């Protein structure tokens, strides 16, 4: 062997377990340690391409030999986390699948197995690389054995490196560790003897034994006494840290040779079971196990006769799958490059508009096809394609399916709904990647610069697999009784969102430019104030410099420690607000700087040059709760409480004179849904009587008349009311209200005593989720929560909060979507000029001519409040304004 790489597998797993948070598979089982382990292995193989490699794990009962010497060895360590144990087994299984030799020796710790391998392999000319960050292994380093820390940019430590790090050569590391001890393994060492002392002693003495034999030669009376009284402990420590290199290991070179996976299918099944979709895709791309090429009929249509024949053929079908190829991801900026069609598996057609036919002839033939009301059209993210065709005056009257929305409804907690991801998941198919056509950095300008033949294959593959996907997803929707949600809510909503996107929203750019100058002055003033409070200038955006100012110079008590030091996040600064005024100024600076960089600087560039309006995209397949999300730009996220956020909103206004904005906001919808679901009589009565629900709750909790409730009492009741919806515990409530945990816990206990049905409802949500593995909304939307039975308490608690919140927030999302459908239908029926432009979770914004104001107020309020019959009334607050801020 030229080289042998020895992996400290147990070390890799523990490191990954703590470094990667809350990663689970489809069954809710933790996979964080396993994922990090696999990634580390892959990185090692990529960086060094080893031919010989072994993964070494701690063996069962591995610590028993050392515990016989010193019963307290590793005694202080917490028991292995329950959700790590099964991941170690999976890691060993992975090694077998991927062809990596492994060693798990009963009664032997990994360090000893590694030591035996290093001694055996390193005695010849083999270079042995111990892949670990464990300092104990430094005692093994010699001219042929090295430490390779792959987690620190492949840091290689040789004999010189050991001495530079610890001040002693490898042959004295055992003595060094015996003197200093090791708190992580509970190795006692010599009390009061730190690394510097150990380094100095071992420069003057050959070994620990020589030091113990000559205590009088050691400076300091206290140290001399320690050497005498603790001599036996020091000798025990030396035995504990000494790696046993006599362990029996395989001594055949062939054992350590990496094998090729014998069954690529098993590797893929393993990745699928673990929900490692990225690893699955990478394995597919790199695997040498080739599948037989599938016979498909993908056709490039680039002459008039072929196009006419294709159109005639398509007209005989009731439903057609299609896809557009374009020059841009933003539909209103994009030009059409070509259109793909599919009506049966493995057969598709592509019509380029940049080929022999040209744009005009293609549009001439496809327009009547798309506008045929008897034919349903479908695709993957078909809203995008609807926009593209609308750019050319083609309006599809009948969209019959959308595979991205179907996939989302079937698996709302997944973020992987792209056609590439779904093709891999359902068909084990790695599709042609977009980057393969235009280059990784889009070296080709746009899709229209790619050869028609290449685009044809790419587009035909897209429509073919969309067609196949639809066959599966539609059956799944029916099996799981989600058809109504899909066909009666989400699919019709698609066109409403498309119309909102197409209308867009007007931005007063001159106002934003003016605001830009004002914010620059404001930020500079805030920066000066912060520097003055700090006593020196520093980079406010640097967490490290800010940490030094707060916790070193100003000596503030750090609320939270993180891997890189002390946290300076928003929660930490909120805690420090009452202690020092600098914290509040930094929070204000951060808020304004984020609004400046995210909105003030960006918004003018988002204005479409042709329409002079901003056209955000509303996503139906992102938020796991069923809520819509918004991007390019995200207009749902401009903070209304921040003064600068309000100023930004002022720049959004109707484009025409004599028009206004109408804002319709569901009042406390989630609390009303809590009353509906829990059937708590007190809460229902409060809403029926239109009481101030937070004052009402305060009166019940503090047992005093409603009219005597103070602002502070109402504020506390409000915090509990909303905290309950999100599963907030005493710690979170205490932090929010600035009270101790005991007081917060008593508030929560009192709340449930006053509203006993609410507590019962919340517990039933958790129990239902534990039994079914999911939470559901009033309309039947499902959210899988398999993590609710996870053995990790942190993951399980987060899942329980989702089980409580999903029926409330998810139902709220469903209801406003229903309201959007009803309002749109009325707007069309009554032929009103007003139109919907934004949805921000519980509220809708319309752009309306002033003469329709009364009609619109009545129409919107009526439709939203009567969208669904609950046990409590739904109330909608209507406001009018000449800009968004006024609403």
The C-alpha atoms of residue 778 and residue 807 are separated, in whole angstroms, by: 7
Residues 75-125 have pLDDT tens digits of 877 788 999 999 999 999 999 999 999 999 999 999 999 999 999 998 878
Residue 156 has pLDDT above 50, yes or no: yes
Q: How far is CA 447 from CA 321, 421, 438, 501, in A?
A: 21, 21, 7, 24
- Residue 804's nearest CA partner among 763, 771, 753, 841 is 763
What average pLDDT does this structure show over 544-553? 93
| Model pLDDT, residue 737 | 83
Contacts of residue 245, defined as CB under 8 A and 6 or more positions apart, other chains included, come to 112, 115, 116, 118, 119, 140
C-beta separation of 296 from 347 below 8 A: yes
- Residue 1's nearest CA partner among 143, 122, 147 is 122
Residue 198 CA, distance from chain mean position: 46
Looking at domain 506-654, which of 1.20.1060.10, 2.40.50.460, 3.40.190.10, 2.60.40.10 is its CATH number?
1.20.1060.10
What average pLDDT does this structure show over 226-250? 91
Q: Edge-to-edge strands of the sheet including 876-881?
A: 835-840, 843-849, 659-666, 876-881
- Residue 125's nearest CA partner among 106, 107, 142, 144 is 144
Q: Which fold has domain 670-811?
A: DNA polymerase; domain 1 (1.10.150)
What average pLDDT does this structure show over 478-492? 97
Instruction: Dump the DSSP string for 175-229.
Output: HHHHHH-BTTTTB---TT--HHHHHHHHHHSSSHHHHHH-GGGSSSHHHHHHHHH
The C-alpha atoms of residue 829 and residue 255 are separated, in whole angstroms, by: 77
Q: Which bin fits 28, alpha (ψ -120 to 50), beta or left (φ > 0)?
A: left
| Model pLDDT, residue 884 | 97
Residues 157-187 have pLDDT tens digits of 999 999 999 999 999 999 999 999 888 888 8
Contacts of residue 864, defined as CB under 8 A and 6 or more positions apart, other chains included, come to 664, 666, 816, 819, 823, 844, 874, 876
Residue 348 has pLDDT above 90, yes or no: yes
For 120, counting Cβ atoms within 10 Å of its Cβ (0-12 exposed, 13-18 middle, 19+ buried), the class is: middle
What average pLDDT does this structure show over 34-60? 95
The C-alpha atoms of residue 316 and residue 503 are separated, in whole angstroms, by: 34
Instruction: Dump the DSSP string for 754-781.
Output: HSHHHHHHHHHHHHHHHHHSEEE-TT--
Residues 378-390 have pLDDT tens digits of 999 999 999 999 9
Residue 368 has pLDDT above 60, yes or no: yes
Calculate the average pLDDT of the chain: 93
Residue 289 has pLDDT above 50, yes or no: no
The C-alpha atoms of residue 188 and residue 233 are separated, in whole angstroms, by: 7
C-beta separation of 122 from 55 below 8 A: no
Residue 293 has pLDDT above 80, yes or no: no
Which of 392-401, 410-419, 477-486 shows the lowest mean pLDDT across its residues?
410-419
CATH 3.40.50.1010 fits 3-162+244-256, yes or no: yes
C-beta separation of 150 from 157 below 8 A: no
C-beta separation of 11 from 134 below 8 A: yes
Q: Domain boundaries in the chain?
A: 3-162+244-256, 297-480, 506-654, 670-811, 817-881
What's the half-sphere exposure (Cβ side, CA atoms, 13 Å) at 125?
1
| Model pLDDT, residue 747 | 87
Residues 671-689 have pLDDT tens digits of 999 999 999 999 999 999 9
- Look at the alpha carbons of 520, 526, 532, 537 in this order and tell me if their dihedral is positive or negative: negative
C-beta separation of 720 from 696 below 8 A: no
Q: What percent of the chain has pLDDT over 70?
A: 99
Beta bridge partners of 774: 784
Residue 596 has pLDDT above 50, yes or no: yes
| pLDDT band at 192; cut points 50, 70, 90 | confident
Ranked by mean pLDDT, the top range of 10-19, 259-268, 458-467 is: 458-467
Give the pair of three-digit tokens for residue 770.
Answer: 């534990």
| Model pLDDT, residue 6 | 97
DSSP 3-state assignment of 345?
A: coil
Instruction: Dump the DSSP string for 528-571.
Output: HHHHHHHTS---TT-HHHHHIIIIIIS-PPPS-EETTEE--SHH
- Residue 165's nearest CA partner among 155, 154, 177, 157 is 157
The C-alpha atoms of residue 23 and residue 797 are separated, in whole angstroms, by: 14
Beta strand pairing status for 127-131 and 3-8? parallel
Instruction: Please tell me the pTM assigned to this model.
Output: 0.86
Long-range pairs for 680-687: beta carbons < 8 A, 24 or more residues apart: 680/755, 680/756, 680/757, 680/758, 680/761, 681/757, 682/754, 682/755, 683/755, 683/757, 683/758, 683/872, 684/871, 684/872, 687/872, 687/873
What average pLDDT does this structure show over 5-30? 93
Which of 170-184, 455-469, 822-836 shows the lowest mean pLDDT across its residues?
170-184
Beta strand pairing status for 145-149 and 155-157? antiparallel
The C-alpha atoms of residue 725 and residue 713 are separated, in whole angstroms, by: 19
Residues 506-528 have pLDDT tens digits of 999 999 999 999 999 999 999 99
DSSP 3-state assignment of 665?
A: strand
User: What CATH number should be reported for the domain whose range is 297-480?
Assistant: 3.30.420.10
C-beta separation of 234 from 177 below 8 A: no
Q: Which residue has the tokens 């035995």?
A: 239
Give the pair of three-digit tokens for residue 454.
Answer: 């290449």
| pLDDT band at 288; cut points 50, 70, 90 | very low
C-beta separation of 211 from 205 below 8 A: yes
| pLDDT band at 73; cut points 50, 70, 90 | confident
- Residue 476's nearest CA partner among 569, 408, 547, 380 is 408
Beta bridge partners of 878: 664
Task: Tell me if the bond preceding 633 is cis, omega within 30° of 0.
Answer: yes
Q: What percent of the chain has pLDDT over 90?
A: 75
User: What CATH number should be reported for the domain whose range is 817-881?
Assistant: 3.30.70.370
Beta bridge partners of 129: 5, 146
The C-alpha atoms of residue 808 and residue 820 are separated, in whole angstroms, by: 19
For 792, counting Cβ atoms within 10 Å of its Cβ (0-12 exposed, 13-18 middle, 19+ buried), the class is: buried
How many Cβ atoms from other residues are within 10 Å of residue 109's Cβ? 26
CA angle, 440 then 446 then 450, to 5° = 85
Give the pair of three-digit tokens for residue 647.
Answer: 């100023």
SS3 percent helix, strand, coil of the chain, rounded to 5, is: 55, 15, 35
- Residue 838's nearest CA partner among 587, 626, 615 is 615
Contacts of residue 362, defined as CB under 8 A and 6 or more positions apart, other chains included, come to 307, 339, 351, 352, 353
Scored b (16 or more CB within 10 A) or e, 424-433 reads bbeeebbbbe
| Model pLDDT, residue 223 | 85
What average pLDDT does this structure show over 119-133? 92
């Amino acid at each position: 062997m030229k080289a042998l790489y020895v992996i400290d597998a147990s070390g890799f797993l523990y490191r990954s377990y703590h470094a990667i948070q809350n990663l689970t598979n489809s069954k809710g089982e933790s996979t964080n340690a396993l994922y990090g382990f696999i990634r580390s292995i892959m990185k090692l193989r990529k960086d060094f391409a080893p031919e010989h490699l072994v993964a070494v794990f701690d063996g069962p009962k591995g610590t028993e030999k050392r515990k016989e010497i010193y019963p307290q060895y590793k005694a202080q360590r917490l028991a292995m986390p329950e959700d790590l144990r099964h991941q170690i087994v999976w890691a060993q299984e992975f090694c077998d699948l991927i062809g990596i030799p492994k060693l798990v020796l009963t009664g032997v710790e990994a360090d000893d197995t590694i030591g035996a391998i290093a001694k055996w392999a390193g005695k010849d000319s083999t270079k042995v690389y111990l892949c670990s960050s464990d300092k104990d292994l430094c005692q093994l380093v010699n001219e042929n054995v090295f430490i390779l820390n792959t987690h620190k940019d492949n840091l290689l430590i040789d004999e010189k490196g050991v001495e530079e790090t610890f001040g002693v050569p490898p042959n004295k590391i055992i003595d060094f560790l015996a003197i200093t001890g090791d708190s992580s393994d509970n190795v006692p060492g010599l009390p009061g003897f730190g690394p510097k002392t150990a380094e100095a002693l071992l420069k003057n003495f050959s070994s620990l034994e020589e030091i113990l034999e000559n205590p009088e030669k050691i400076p300091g009376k206290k140290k001399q006494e320690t050497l005498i009284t603790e001599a036996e402990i020091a000798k025990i420590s030396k035995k504990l840290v000494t790696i046993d290199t006599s362990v029996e290991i395989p001594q055949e070179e062939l054992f350590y040779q990496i094998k090729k996976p014998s069954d690529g299918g098993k590797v893929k099944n393993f990745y699928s079971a673990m929900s490692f979709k990225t690893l699955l895709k990478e394995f597919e791309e790199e695997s040498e196990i080739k599948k037989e090429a599938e016979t498909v009929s993908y056709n490039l249509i680039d002459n008039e006769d072929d196009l006419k024949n294709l159109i005639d053929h398509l007209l005989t079908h009731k439903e057609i799958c299609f896809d557009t190829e374009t020059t841009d991801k933003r539909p209103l900026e994009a030009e059409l490059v070509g259109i793909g069609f599919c009506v049966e598996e493995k057969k598709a057609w592509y019509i380029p508009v940049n080929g022999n036919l040209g744009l005009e002839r293609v549009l001439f033939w496809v327009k009547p096809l798309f506008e045929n009301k008897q034919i349903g059209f479908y695709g993957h993210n078909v809203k995008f394609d609807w926009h593209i065709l609308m750019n050319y005056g083609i309006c599809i009257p009948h969209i019959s399916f959308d595979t991205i929305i179907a996939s989302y409804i079937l698996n709302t907690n997944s973020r992987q709904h792209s056609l590439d991801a779904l093709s891999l998941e359902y068909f084990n198919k790695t599709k042609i990647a977009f980057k393969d056509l235009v280059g990784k950095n889009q070296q080709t300008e746009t899709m229209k610069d790619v050869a028609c033949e290449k685009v044809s294959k790419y587009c035909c593959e897209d429509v073919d697999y969309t067609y196949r996907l639809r066959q599966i997803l539609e059956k799944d929707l029916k099996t799981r009784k989600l058809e109504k949600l899909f066909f009666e809510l989400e699919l019709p909503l698609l066109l409403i969102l498309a119309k909102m996107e197409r209308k867009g929203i007007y931005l007063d750019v001159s106002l934003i430019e003016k605001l830009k100058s004002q914010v620059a002055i404001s930020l500079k003033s805030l920066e000066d104030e912060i520097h003055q409070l700090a006593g020196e200038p520093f980079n406010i955006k640097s967490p490290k410099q800010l940490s030094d100012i707060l916790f070193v110079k100003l000596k503030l008590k750090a609320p939270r420690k993180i891997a890189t030091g002390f946290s300076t996040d928003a929660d930490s600064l909120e805690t420090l607000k009452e202690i020092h005024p600098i914290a509040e100024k930094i929070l204000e600076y951060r808020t304004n700087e984020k609004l400046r960089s995210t909105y003030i600087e960006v918004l003018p560039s988002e204005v479409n040059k042709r329409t002079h309006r901003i056209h955000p995209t509303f996503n139906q397949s992102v938020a796991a709760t069923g809520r819509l999300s918004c991007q390019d730009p995200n207009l749902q996220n401009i903070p209304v409480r921040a003064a600068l956020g309000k100023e930004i909103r002022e720049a959004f206004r109707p484009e025409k004179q004599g028009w206004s904005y109408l804002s319709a906001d569901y009042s406390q919808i989630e609390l009303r849904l809590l009353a509906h679901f829990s059937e708590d009589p007190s809460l229902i009565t409060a809403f029926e009587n239109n009481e101030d629900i937070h004052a009402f709750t305060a009166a019940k909790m503090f047992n005093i008349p409603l009219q005597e409730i103070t602002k502070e009492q109402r504020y506390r009741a409000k915090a509990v009311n909303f905290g309950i919806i999100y599963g907030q515990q005493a710690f979170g409530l205490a932090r929010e209200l600035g009270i101790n945990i005991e007081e917060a816990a008593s508030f929560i206990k009192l709340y449930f005593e006053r509203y006993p049905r609410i507590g019962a409802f919340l517990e039933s949500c958790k129990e239902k989720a534990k039994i079914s593995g999911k939470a559901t909304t009033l309309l039947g939307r499902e959210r899988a929560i398999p993590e609710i039975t996870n053995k990790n308490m942190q993951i399980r608690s987060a899942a329980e909060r989702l089980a409580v919140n999903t029926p409330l927030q998810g139902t709220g999302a469903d209801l406003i979507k229903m309201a959007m459908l009803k309002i749109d239908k009325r707007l069309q029926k009554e032929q009103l000029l007003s139109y919907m432009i934004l949805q921000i979770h519980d509220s809708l914004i319309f752009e309306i001519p002033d003469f329709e104001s009364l009609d619109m107020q009545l129409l919107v309020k009526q439709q939203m409040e009567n969208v669904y019959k609950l046990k409590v009334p739904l109330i909608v607050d209507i406001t009018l304004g000449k800009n968004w801020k006024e609403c």
